[in-house]
Amino acid sequence: MTHSIAKVVVDLALDREFDYRIPAGLSGQVHVGSRVAVPFGARNAQGYVVGLAETSSYGKLKEIGEVVGKKPLLSDKILELTRWMGRYYCCPVELCVKCALPEVVRKAKISWKERQFVRAGKIDAKQLAKLRPKSRQVIEILQKSDGMFVAKLAQLADTDASTIKRLAGKGFVMLSDQVDERDPFGGEVFLPTEALKLHTEQLQALELCKAQISNPEKPVLIRGVTGSGKTEVYLQAIDFTLRQGKDAIVLVPEISLTPQTVERFRARFPGQQITVLHSHLSAGERHDQWHKIRDGQSHIVIGARSAVFAPVQALGLIVIDEEHETSYKQEEAPRYNARDVAVMRGKFEGAAVVMGSATPSLESFYNAKRGRYVLATLPVRVDNQKMPLMRIVDMRQEAIRQKGVHVLSAKLRDAIQARLDKKEQVILFLNRRGYATHCFCPKCGYVAKCPNCSVALTYHRRDGQLRCHFCDHIAGVPNRCPECKDPAIKYSGMGTEKVESAIQKAFPKARVQRMDSDIMTKKNLYREIFSAFRVGKIDILVGTQMIAKGLHFPNVTLVGIIFADMALHLPDFRAGERTFQLLVQVAGRAGRGDVEGEVIVQAFTPFHPAVQYARQHDFVGFYDHEIEYREQLRYPPVTRLVCVTVRGRSEDKAKFVAETLARQLKNEIASERILIAGPTPAPLARIQNQYRFQIMVRTEQIMKLTEALSKVVSGKKWPEDVNVSVDVDPISLL
């Protein structure tokens, strides 16, 4: 059947579909997902066909100009997914479509890179003998291969392309153009591995996964402590998927997308083309990887958040490792969570979804408890090693003893010394960079603040600067108080830079390295530092959450957490959950080799449940405790939360809009089932010169809420300079 009307989402216009007539000349060429050029107002624009129809309720329609590209870029299923995202996240469909297609693919400005390829031609021994030595070498190298790129051959024979071209002129070699795939991990070698014999719990988990792959009904949540063999289960589940002729997508947090991780998958599936998608790919690499997936040449895709949209042809399985990770959430519109989008994609495409974590999000565990997810548990480490021993140091007592707050407690200092003596390695963790968190005047109470944000500036000693971690504002260090002119400026609070210098002072002979985003400006530094640490060239690694994730260092026997409860008192209902997760994840770094590991946790509120349950490695205990509090206060996962933020340079205007909006929402959608609170100034009341007000909406029926919310919020004209954003299932409320 041929349709005469196409519904098009135009790049230039947000949140609307426009009807266009399909001219006779294009009949049969316009499909859902096709990229088309259309007249739009006085201009020409490009857009996507999101639907086809026979009739339109509009009178005079314009015609589609042309179809851009050959195949539709988006499958029906992905389009369906983007439409769901638009509804669910209260966001223009057009933005969701953009999100599902990398820019290089969308704009189609880059294509495959073709280069000259050379193969051996016809040449007999006599002719060969007559050639100059260089030319003879070229032919001999080529005859031993199935051909190669000209540049490679020139390099091997230590000659230039003109020599090879001369030989081609005589027919001794043959040139052709061939696609040279830009593969970021190409050329790396690895040893193939075989599937391991699973232990009982792993087998049970795998069986649950297989059942879902064969007949998808519900997502599977694997809760398994670090080192319990989750990845091995994923690998075997993927293998099962491939055997069914289906494809798999593996999502990992960006920070865990290391060569090590990728290698583990490559080594298990040596015959497969595994595609890796991450944010550091060049435009060319991204283009090639995307098309390789869409053309069905790659059946396993590994990637960070946006890989959830990878255009595999026969999706059978999506794995989401570390499903609790906040980096799965995109912090700009569409504010989607890749884990939740994965669950929906699984539903639309009839694919299994398997997620895993040592510390599942309360949302996912709640879903498992209520039977919406299938739960598998891997309770112990594969090698039956004990979980590392966690000791808590009460820093209030320590501060009294040491007459002030210091970086190291006596216990941690002794423990570090003991490990250094044994030539073992130490990781010290503090989730804040810089040297001091406050620069203040003890006399008049002045604190150096960011002029654009309502936060104090952080002191970076190495650069001799005060910096804002929200807007990158930089200020000089005052040598006297700008207010009372007193010269006794002081610093308080600590960051990784201070830990590094305190450690260097306490252990002058130790090799100390800091690792945080301040020193990660060079592209490969991250890899370099990790390999130096791995081979033992570093004794103590000091870092932020960059070092907290899924890495395996057998010689690390001590992990020190400098200030465990730093984030505990943030005004966010998930502060306890985040602290618990962080402590357990960081602790998982210790003792993964033959020696038992130890974790020392310095805390000012050592009896807080988040700290105590983490000490016991007791996820279920923490969950039971925490869920009670969420139930009392009607917070997620018991309800669903939507945060509407109004931002503006003028505090009055932003506040006025927020109040008007809140009133409207209360009039139009509030009910017993929809609770609306606010507006209140956000905990960080001003960021980058923008005042921020929040309205919190909670409900048990999220779809109804977002529908109603869309009606109130979308298509509204806000005063100039005022911006309204809707965040469904927000993960940070600061």
> Interface with Zn ion includes 481 (CB under 5 A)?
no
Taking CB under 5 A as the rule, does residue 532 contact Zn ion?
no
Return all residues near 50 (Cβ < 8 A) that are at least 6 apart. Answer: 7, 8, 9, 17, 32, 79, 83, 93, 97
Tell me the DSSP string of 378-446.
E-S-TT-PPPPEEEEEEHHHHHHHTTS--SS-HHHHHHHHHHHHTT-EEEEE-S--SSBSEEE-TTT--
What CA dihedral angle connects 9, 10, 13 and 14, to 10 degrees?
Answer: 30
Contacted by 470, from ligand ADP, Zn ion, none: CB < 5 to 8 Å by type: Zn ion
Q: Is 224 in the site for ligand ADP (CB under 6 A)?
A: yes
Amino acid code (one letter) for 396: R
Residue pair 459/518 in contact by the 8 Å Cβ criterion: no
Which of 710, 707, 642, 705 lies closest to 673, judged by CA? 705
User: Rule CB under 6 A: is residue 597 a binding residue for ligand ADP?
Assistant: no
Tokens of 614: 């983490």
Torsion 676-677-680-684 (CA) sign = negative
Q: What is the DSSP letter of 456?
A: B
The minimum distance between CB 571 and Zn ion, in angstroms, equals 19
Question: Minimum CB separation from ligand ADP for residue 200, in Å?
Answer: 10
Residue 231's binding partner among Zn ion, ligand ADP, none (Cβ under 5 to 8 angstroms by kind) is ligand ADP
Query: Is residue 236 near ligand ADP by the rule CB under 6 A?
Result: no
In the complex, the smallest distance separating the C-beta of residue 362 from ligand ADP, rounded to whole angstroms, is 20
The binder of ligand ADP chosen from 11, 232, 285, 729 (CB under 6 A): 232
Task: For residues 674 and 665, give the distance between their C-alpha atoms in angstroms, rounded to a whole number.
Answer: 10
* Cβ(610)–Cβ(583) below 8 Å: yes
Least Å from the CB of residue 199 to ligand ADP: 5
User: How far is residue 518 from each of residues 331, 438, 515, 521, 533, measured CA to CA in Å?
Assistant: 21, 18, 8, 7, 19
Considering just the CA atoms, what is the radius of gyration of the chain in Å?
29
Query: What stretches of 616-701 show up as alpha helix (H) in DSSP?
Result: 619-633, 651-668
Contact between 645 and ligand ADP per CB under 6 A: no
In sequence order, the β-bridge partners of residue 275 are 301
Pick what 452 binds: Zn ion, ligand ADP, none; C-beta below 5 to 8 Å, kind-dependent.
Zn ion
Residue 198's binding partner, choosing from Zn ion, ligand ADP, none, with beta-carbon cut-off 5 to 8 A by kind?
ligand ADP
Tell me how far apart the terminal alpha carbons of the chain are, to the nearest angstrom: 53
Burial 578-595 (b: 16+ CB within 10 A, else e): bbbbbbbbbbbbbbbbeb
Going by C-alpha positions, the residue among 117, 163, 116, 115 that lies closest to residue 139 is 163
How many chain residues are in contact with Zn ion, going by CB under 5 A? 7
Distance CA 214, CA 351 (A): 9
In angstroms, give the least distance from the CB of 198 to ligand ADP: 5
Q: What is the smallest separation between the CB atom of 383 and ligand ADP, expressed in angstroms?
A: 7
Binding mask 181-220 for ligand ADP (x = CB under 6 A): ---------------xxxx--x------------------
Q: Which of 555, 263, 315, 241 is closest to 424 using CA atoms? A: 555
Q: Which is nearer to ligand ADP, 196 or 633 (CB)?
A: 196
Residue with tokens 């490792």: 321
Is the CB of 46 or the CB of 226 nearer to ligand ADP?
Answer: 226
Q: Which of 450, 558, 568, 695 binds Zn ion (CB under 5 A)?
A: 450
Nearer to ligand ADP, 442 or 554 (CB): 554
Kindly tell me which residue out of 229, 316, 493, 591 binds ligand ADP, with binding defined by CB under 6 A.
229
Say whether residue 471 binds Zn ion (CB under 5 A).
yes
Residues 6+ apart with CB under 8 A from 249: 301, 302, 303, 307, 308, 310, 312, 315, 317, 318, 319, 342
Among 33, 102, 184, 227, which residue sits at the site for ligand ADP (rule: CB under 6 A)? 227
Question: What residues between 196 and 215 interact with Zn ion by CB under 5 A?
Answer: none
Identity of the residue, 378 or 724, whose beta carbon is nearer to ligand ADP in the bound complex: 378
* 456 touching Zn ion, by CB under 5 A: no
> Smaller CB distance to Zn ion: residue 128 or 475?
475
Binder among 266, 460, 473, 608 for Zn ion (CB under 5 A): 473
Q: Toward ligand ADP, which CB reaches closer, 377 or 732?
A: 377
Per-residue contact string for residues 392-431; x = within reach of Zn ion by CB under 5 A: ----------------------------------------
* Contact assessment for residue 317 and residue 352, using Cβ atoms and an 8 Å cutoff: yes
Separation CA 536–CA 202 (nearest Å): 33
- Long-range contacts from 630-638, C-beta under 8 angstroms, 24+ separation: 630/362, 630/573, 633/573, 634/675, 634/698, 635/573, 635/698, 636/362, 636/363, 636/573, 636/698, 636/729, 637/362, 637/363, 637/366, 637/367, 638/366
Q: Does 231 bind ligand ADP (CB under 6 A)?
A: yes
Secondary structure (3-state) at 94 = helix
Select 545 or 689, whichever has its Cβ closest to Zn ion. Answer: 689
| 732: CB partners within 8 A, 6+ apart | 326, 331, 572
Which partner from the list Zn ion, ligand ADP, none does 73 bind, CB cut-off 5 to 8 Å by kind?
none
- 510 or 570, CB closer to Zn ion? 570
Query: Smallest distance, Å, CB 263 to ligand ADP?
Result: 12
Strand partners, 676: 697
Encode burial over 460-494: b for 16+ CB neighbours within 10 A, e otherwise.
Answer: bbeeebbbbbbbebeeebbeebeeeeeeebebebb
Based on the shown chain and the rule CB under 5 A, indicate whether residue 452 belongs to the binding site for Zn ion. yes
Residue 584 vs 661, nearer CB to ligand ADP: 584
Main-chain phi, psi angles of 391, to 5 degrees: -110, 140
228 binds, among Zn ion, ligand ADP, none (CB under 5 to 8 A by kind): ligand ADP
- Among positions 524-563, residues that touch ligand ADP (CB under 6 A) are none
Nearer to ligand ADP, 226 or 241 (CB): 226
Indicate the residue among 112 and 470 with the shorter CB distance to Zn ion.
470
**3-class secondary structure, 690:** strand
Residue 449 is classified by DSSP as B
Could you say whether residue 323 binds ligand ADP (CB under 6 A)?
no
Closest approach of Cβ 450 to Zn ion, in Å? 3
236 vs 409 by CB, closer to ligand ADP: 236
Distances in Å between the Cα of 732 and the Cα atoms of 329, 371, 685 are 10, 27, 14
Q: Report the nearest approach of Zn ion to the CB of residue 657 (Å).
A: 23
How many angstroms separate the Cα of 84 from the Cα of each of 88, 551, 629?
6, 36, 31
Number of residues that bind ligand ADP (CB under 6 A): 14
Nearer to ligand ADP, 205 or 657 (CB): 205
For ligand ADP, the closer of residues 202 and 289 by Cβ is: 202
| In the block, residue with structure tokens 């030539």 | 423
With CB under 5 to 8 Å by kind, the binding choice for 473 among Zn ion, ligand ADP, none is: Zn ion
Q: How far is the CB of 231 from ligand ADP (least distance, A)?
A: 3
Q: Which residues within the stretch 363-382 sit at the binding site for ligand ADP (CB under 6 A)?
A: 382
User: To the nearest whole angstrom, how small is the minimum distance from the Cβ of residue 175 to ligand ADP?
Assistant: 46
Query: Nearest approach, Cβ of 471 to ligand ADP (angstroms)?
Result: 37
Span 378-407, contacts to ligand ADP by CB under 6 A: 382
Nearer to Zn ion, 156 or 471 (CB): 471
Question: Contact region for Zn ion (CB under 5 A) — 230-238, 367-375, 450-458, 620-628?
Answer: 450-458
**Residue 424 interacts with which of Zn ion, ligand ADP, none, CB < 5 to 8 Å by class:** none
| Residues at the contact surface with ligand ADP, assessed by CB under 6 A | 196-199, 202, 224, 226-232, 382
| Residues at the contact surface with Zn ion, assessed by CB under 5 A | 450, 452-453, 468, 470-471, 473
